[in-house]
A and B are shown apart, each in its own frame.
Chain A
């Protein structure tokens, strides 16, 4: 529906060249357009064209967000879910509860927040590193390149559930492949370690998340590399630049716009990722890997306290907005300086 509404007028736009006067309106038609100045009509047209898409966008994205914000100001528990309007106003109390870091709810939220920040930074950095390394190494022609490229993209193409549930089998303590290799074959540990509960669960979730996200970085960087003109490498080679120097002075600067978007998107997706920890750990994540999306889910759905969960979601939204704004500000300024 959206496609037909926005793409079909696009054909008309191509034939309407800018210098052409507006077609004479035939009797009784074009009542609204007739008294609008031509310039305004031309200016308003693009906005009108995207209006249906915009309305749908509002419907799909903004309204649920607004409802979520509304929910965060009421005491929405099981007593009121059938009739939200009857739920008593909570004022700021849901927020107080969430940011009162001396209280148990706020403290566990803060803990979860720090775990998530650490997890996200590690995952993004490693995903970028592996993606970059993969893309650069695949740049030159060699036999089997197509096969390797396809292979690297498999984790990204695999349905999340299938991929992550396989990981959870691999990481089982008694019957998992990981312990079989590490303990039974290589004898690295005396006692079989746990991977899905306790200390190691953080490492597990980082590895699984890395496995899931690095192909995306690889894909985007590979596409970015295709756009770097060959001549630059040839010219720099004539100037005597080695492989490292080419990487530093040609590849990385040319990839800067790609990287800017890639890192931001990876950060947001990883920070918000719900599926990976949910499938790996189930409804209750171990404390060491208590990622914020699961934490909020628990605070609302599992304990039936939707108001508090919404307040936490709004705080998360504000934090991510802030990070995005600061990030774009810094990276854009640096680019305009350059």
Chain B
């Protein structure tokens, strides 16, 4: 299993090189598709193994010494926190390869870069050594930079550079923290610096009253900034609309579907477990950022006339729930934030795909120049309804679970627990403001839906070629996923439950979490 785990990470890389060597485009496409399917199957086998082994925490861990001098290891493994995201990545990858079927310009390079990106993404989720994580985290930027910068729209260079520098600026913060850990963790281990991401959880030296609590606060903020850029948490989000608008459809899908999740994942993997006491000290600022993102993203989305930009801002709004759910330090909040990432991975990828289908034919994305799409293509309209209502958080579809759990988790925080006894007024304020998100979301999505889908089709649609079987296949799979995860959230929670309970117990010792869950 461990072999398969590592093979899964590097198979796309090898295939990427092979793709470049392929004689024809068609062969390159099929090879890419085949690789992505194989990787998907591997990830499913690993999931099946994880379940049948009854594993609940870290499993299939393996390490090889990499840089002896500073104790860096090549260490990989899975736990409940990474597994659902890995499957999300591999599953979306197959669909994204299908969605890229019509890329004409330098197809082989495109596919190869995409495969490199896949390695980086899987590496981020599977690395258990902080140094290795950092490497993959940084490496993921490069293919993305080229994918936007070469295959993008009119302002692709600007968008690509903005994306790259923005994220890189965040990564510098992470680098500083790593330097800090390099110098400080030997105090804890009594020798070598510590990079193992599970062992780094809640070190006494970084706890309140520990020798380096002051540094822990600094590190908390630095890592938070590093990952908030990726999420993206407003106001560090402005790279996102540009990147999305310029990126080609499949790249938008992977960007929204997986790359944003790296930020949320890293918050749950690094920022909060490493420095829980610092997180507790600053919870209200982070939570306020989350609520701000929800409302601000929704308002910005409402004002857009560019359809894709609207969807991009909806990501800012929806990912605000992730930030909020993590920040309130409750069990329901953590669960909800995690589920929201999976759900958003499905719905946002689907939304971008829906936009792409029309853009490919209309060559513009002006909402006010569209209309009547439902009558034009009833099947496409039906799946769009599913997708946008799932994004809106309608029960029975995946968006609902994450949203409601984050909201409930927010209110739960009022019961003392982790955020301090006097937090109730703050919590209520945040909870009420966050709840207003449901109205705003309904507002911008329905308004958009009315303008794009309702009404009579326009005469200039006549020459549009019909939505083809490949496109229907992609939207059907994603649409069904919306329902499946909305009706059976346990598919995700069964995998995460053990890890989460353990994680929460490590970072907030048992008694506290239990009282928080009971509401004080």
Asked if chains A and B come from one complex, the reply is: no
**Which residues of B are at the interface with A, using a C-beta cutoff of 8 A?**
none
